Amino acid sequence: MLKKHFIINILTIPQIFIFLWLGNVVYAQKETDAQRLVELNESLQKYDVAKEPIKVAQTLSKIALIYSKSQSNKAIETYLQAASIYNQEKYYNDVRKIYGNIGLIYTDKEEYEKALTYFEKALKIARLQNNQEYASGCLTDVAYLLTVEKQYNSSIKKLLEALTLAQAANNQKLILKCYAMLMENYNALGQHAKYKEYQDKYNNLTSHADKLAVQQEVNNLKIKNKAEEERSEQERMLHEKDLELAALEKERQNQILKSKDMELQLQNLKQEQLENEKNQVERERKEAEAANKLLESENKRGQERLVYLSGFLILFIILAIIVSRNAIKNKRLNNQLKVQNKKIEEQNIEIASNAEALKVALDEVSAQKKDIQDSITYARRIQFAMMVTPEVVKQHLPNSFIFFRPKDVVSGDFYWFNHVQIEKDGEQIDKIFIAAVDCTGHGVPGAMLSMIGHNSLENIVLNQHIYHPNEILSALHLAVHYALRQDTSESRDGMDMSLCMIDLKNNILEYAGAKNALVYVTPDGNQEKVKADSQCIGGLITSEVPDKVFKNNVFDIVHGTTFYIFSDGFSDQFGHEKNRKYMLGKFRQLLQEVSKNPI
């Protein structure tokens, strides 16, 4: 499996680059979609004949889910068939879910107008059901599309309505989601006061429920891990059942072939016996004729009759013996065939019963998998709303870019950016902060730790007014230590990171690192590496709060100098024909080469 990647490359005046890399995921599926479609279509025909419309609609929804992986148009068409049946049966809650799924498919296809149409249909049903939570969730879906279309004011209007409904339903997750999306839209409009207002609300709500939320997420993760183990066990059992069914089917086919061979052998034996009897009769007839001719020449007519009678009696006895033996043998073979046929019938009944049980188990596993995937997808939206967009970064650092590709749906790595204006000696000084952070773990565990890191960095810079990178790292270490209760728990989680502060007025860059180094290329093409401290953020288990001191490195920014900060993701990537790591040396050589190119 590919290792996660995370790289940020920073170049300051006149060139500043930021990029992140994260790999893709390869998923393995034990049962092919083609086999599943065949089974679902068979069930669909059965339910249609039995006139069970709800089961027909449920089966169509399962077929549409498979189509959504590679044939989006077929998925939409099938979903609409299911929605039509649910409408006729007045199952409006299922209609709402289907409209939401169609909206997601159009969103993935970047057909945002059509996606918006179906999200609004789902919203209309939620309003008719007078369900505040459903309506709030649908409004955030609509608002997300409006944000993608850069209709920020319309998105804000929908989000404010969603926020009111979420507060009425006392749904903390929906409230936090509304705050995060309002921050994103106000930030895009440049309304910093509103951005700050909802940022404070988000932080306040998060700070009150932070410990409880972390514990709840840990519990949820355990439940998900347990569900995944159960799913793996079920898949293993299903695979064993498939092997047993295949063995039984093979045995049944062998029994059928054996029965046919026995019938053919019996027919051949009967034919052979008849031929032998015929030949025997013919031989004895000829012998009798020869004997009769001999007796005619030696005996009288009375003796000839006696000979004929004797020959006939002998022939009759022989035929009776042969027929009796054949009847006994045929009866024994027929009894054996009856026993074999009965065994085959019992095996067929058992195979049919096992196949039905396997179908039910597969349906349950598919439903559980979909619930888990839906939950992680919503978590991804919240995490991406938390991070500043590349467009905002470019407003402050025009010659920069961000390369960010999460390996999983949610990421354990993240980048952090903030712009602060401070007043010193009556002058306004702009300070820009940029960080590349590599959290412990992948997927959901890493994403949980990234939320702690992001919120802690925001609090340290904006509320505690700490501006030097080495002091920020020390404060972040204490925040992670307290958040994960590493004085009493068994948590060794932490993060590696590079952090830069850019003073645009004085043309100065300050850097501090926890295991992640800074690399820069001078205007004459020489590459230099600034080593990071060998200690990480968090990760210690001790009853005392450990103070960590990090070194602060200060540089005068020379025109044409290129600065890079990054994680170990790119250099640890496996690939090429021998499937070896890319390694740090090759990665630094790559940075040397690309630094010559324009942005």
- The C-alpha atoms of residue 143 and residue 177 are separated, in whole angstroms, by 11
Q: What 8-state DSSP symbol labels residue 490?
A: -
DSSP per residue, 367-413: HHHHHHHHHHHHHHHHHHHHSPPHHHHHHH-SS-------SSSS-SE
What is the mean pLDDT of the segment spanning 552-573?
87
What single letter denotes the amino acid at residue 374?
Answer: D
- The C-alpha atoms of residue 296 and residue 288 are separated, in whole angstroms, by 12
Q: What pLDDT shows up at residue 381?
A: 84
Neighbours of 198 (CB within 10 A): 21
Residue 160 pLDDT greater than 90, yes or no: yes
Residues in the chain: 599
- Please, are residues 101 and 141 in contact by the beta-carbon 8 Å criterion? no
| Helix, strand, coil percentages, rounded to 5, for the chain | 65, 10, 25
Q: Which residues of 142-163 are buried (b: 16+ CB within 10 A; e: fewer)?
A: bbbbbbeeebbebbbebbebbb
Confidence of residue 227 (pLDDT cuts 50, 70, 90): low
Q: What pLDDT shows up at residue 210?
A: 61
Nearest to 159 by CA among 178, 135, 185: 178
Instruction: Check residues 275 and 523 and name the one with the higher pLDDT.
Output: 523
Q: What is the value of pTM for the model shown?
A: 0.43
Q: What pLDDT shows up at residue 544?
A: 58
Q: What pLDDT shows up at residue 180?
A: 92
Nearest to 498 by CA among 484, 510, 486: 510
What is the mean pLDDT of the segment spanning 144-159?
90
Neighbours of 123 (CB within 10 A): 25
- The C-alpha atoms of residue 576 and residue 579 are separated, in whole angstroms, by 5
Pick the most confident of 33-37, 299-303, 417-421. Answer: 417-421
Confidence of residue 514 (pLDDT cuts 50, 70, 90): very high
Residue 567 pLDDT greater than 50, yes or no: yes
Rg, Å, the chain Cα set = 40
- The C-alpha atoms of residue 426 and residue 153 are separated, in whole angstroms, by 36
- Please, are residues 452 and 214 in contact by the beta-carbon 8 Å criterion? yes
Chain segment 377-430, per-residue pLDDT in tens: 887 888 778 888 889 988 988 877 777 888 788 887 889 999 999 888 888 889
Helical (H) or strand (E) element with 443: helix 443-458
Chain segment 464-499, per-residue pLDDT in tens: 999 999 999 999 999 998 888 887 877 788 999 999
Pick the most confident of 232-236, 444-448, 531-535, 557-561. Answer: 531-535
Helical (H) or strand (E) element with 195: helix 192-298
| Cα-based torsion angle of the residue sequence 499, 504, 509, 515 in order, rounded to the nearest 10 degrees | 10
Chain segment 193-207, per-residue pLDDT in tens: 999 999 999 999 887
pLDDT > 70 in the chain, percent = 85
Q: What pLDDT shows up at residue 6?
A: 37
Residue 215 pLDDT greater than 70, yes or no: no
Residue 53 pLDDT greater than 50, yes or no: yes
pLDDT > 90 in the chain, percent = 26
Pick the most confident of 151-155, 319-323, 380-384. Answer: 151-155
Chain segment 84-126, per-residue pLDDT in tens: 999 898 898 999 999 989 989 998 888 888 888 998 888 889 8
What is the mean pLDDT of the segment spanning 270-297?
78
Q: What pLDDT shows up at residue 336?
A: 83
- Please, are residues 363 and 159 in contact by the beta-carbon 8 Å criterion? no
- The C-alpha atoms of residue 8 and residue 14 are separated, in whole angstroms, by 17
Angle at 379 between CA 376 and CA 382, to 5 degrees: 160
Residue 13 pLDDT greater than 70, yes or no: no
